[in-house]
Structure 1
Amino acid sequence: MNEQLTVIEARGNTNCFSETNFNRLLVSMKDRIIPEGSHLFWEGDLSDKLFYIKRGRIKLTNSTDEGKELILYMYQAGDLVGQADPFFSTKHTFNAEVIEEAEVGVIEQKDLEILICQHCDFSIDFMKWMGIHHRLTQTKFRDLMLYGKPGALCSTLIRLGNTYGEKHGNHTLINKKITHTDLSNMIGATRESVNRMLSDLRKKDAVEYDGGMIVIKDLSMLQDICHCELCPSEICRI
């Protein structure tokens, strides 16, 4: 997790692609407009496409047997979304819900396979993208399993700051309204637990609220609680 909080700009998690290879992706896309509240795909659907977000936001979720929603990832403009299994026929293991009307470029699996077969440099960049995605998943599981709910919450706040943060002097404003329910769904805790942990952080002057949005005041305190390993910004994101 990076101490320097910045907004992840256009190209998002596709920064690992060279300009040439990214343009190859763009050429293979078919644009679609997806309204807010609809889904790109559902758990169990055939995983035969990738989606590049040109605008809007999308969250990937799963549900427990008790019906509780878990937010696995939140994607925005510049991100490539999907379960990447070229040359294999697999099914999605999560749902992709559009939370802000999105314009996406749809990349069919057969077109992706052609790019991988025809351009060795593209295949290397694609493996880098898959590696970043796996590291992101691993670090989230690490935070949830090793450092308890307080560590998971602090890690999530840092990731939100890296993704949506705006610097205000020594503080960082998370420029998206994130509810306590959203936070509870991100770390697998109850909303009441999140309320208590945020109240404790506010008493310690680590965070505060400004117009309903969270402000990180003491980044180092959050890093200490979650045993921050100073991962690069492409990994330390929500």
Structure 2
Amino acid sequence: MILLNEAFKKIEIFKNISPKTIEYIKPFSNLKKYREKEHIFMDKDEVSNIYIIVYGKAALYKLSNFGDKKVIFIFDNGKILNEHSLQDIKVSVNCEVLEDSIILSIPAKVLISAMEKDFELSKYMLNLMSLNIRRLYRQLQNTTIDLKCEKKLASKLLKLAKDNGIACKNIVKINIPLTITYISDMIGARRETVSRQINKLSKLNLIEFKNNNIFIKDIDKLRDYFYDM
């Protein structure tokens, strides 16, 4: 099991703040291992901790009135999962672990107290919230009714490659296991439709889908395909 000191060294938010701030936060912090598909919190839960991924991956998602899952964000190492929990209100989203992960939890009240004393920490949290708001704006733009499924798919693959891609020459592997069903949840489309579009992109030699892994064979060609549609 990873030690608390090691965890703090690996998380981006703690790299530019005062050592005194870290020493203040550390005694209140805890590490926990979560298994694949386990939930850290659920919609409408009262959450008093801020959760940060030390190792692993997790997704935030919502359920529609019909029970359909809509994935909002996927986060990996060092990312904060619920900065919105700084407000003393119930969460409005679900958080599911995508692979065995180690999560750091910090009481929200402790983090708020630390932010009052350390401007760099406050600035980081504000920048994070601003970034996530911009990401949500882009998602709204890409989920309009008139946007073709293939364009949604290409857009999502480009975003996943940017955030979670591992490059080897011209090929980029999206470093998240993705089933057709999960991709459908991410872009809000029927499974059968997504399967057809995956096959289409594969036949165009833009991607390869193998063992729940997606390899983008040429990121520039996929980007051109997205803008030409």
TM bin (shorter chain): 0.7 to 0.9
Q: Distance in 1 between matches of 2:120 and 2:127?
A: 11
**Is 1:29 matched with 2:26?**
no
Q: What is residue 102 of structure 2 aligned with on the other side? A: 103
User: How far apart are residue 19 of structure 1 and its match?
Assistant: 2.3
Q: Which residue pairs with 1:142 in the alignment?
A: 141
Q: How many residues align?
A: 215
Structure having the higher helix fraction is: 2
* 5+ residue gaps, structure 2: 1-9
The Cα of 1:192 is off from its aligned counterpart by 0.6
Give, in angstroms, the shift of residue 153 of structure 1. 0.6
Task: Between the two structures, name the one with larger relative contact order (CA 8 Å, sep ≥ 6).
Answer: 1
TM-aligned CA deviation for residue 100 of structure 1: 1.8
TM-score, L = length of structure 2 = 0.82
**Greater shift after overlay, 140-149 or 123-132?**
140-149
State yes or no: 1:120 paired with 2:123: no
Residues 1:22 and 1:103: Cα distance change in structure 2 (over 3 Å): farther
**1:1-238 matches, cutoff 5 A:** 11=11, 14=12, 18-20=15-17, 24=21, 27=26, 29-86=29-86, 88-145=87-144, 147-227=147-227
Change (3 A) 1:177 1:104: closer
**Ranges in structure 1 where 5+ consecutive residues have no aligned partner:** 1-9, 229-238
Question: How far apart in 1 are the matches of 2:201 and 2:20?
Answer: 44
Question: 2:70 & 2:98 partners in 1: Cα distance?
Answer: 15
Distance in 2 (alpha carbons) for counterparts of 1:119 and 1:89: 21
Cα distance change of structure 1 residues 46 and 211 upon mapping to structure 2, 3 Å threshold? closer
Separation (CA, whole Å) in 2 of partners of 1:72 and 1:120: 29
RMSD of equivalent CA atoms: 2.5
Alpha-carbon distance between aligned partners in 1 of 2:193 and 2:19, rounded to the nearest angstrom: 42
Distance change (3 Å), C-alpha of 1:21 and 1:151 = farther
- TM-score w.r.t. length of structure 1: 0.79
Alpha-carbon displacement from aligned partner over 1:132-183 (angstroms, at most 9, x marks no partner): 1211222222222274322211111112222332223212122333111111
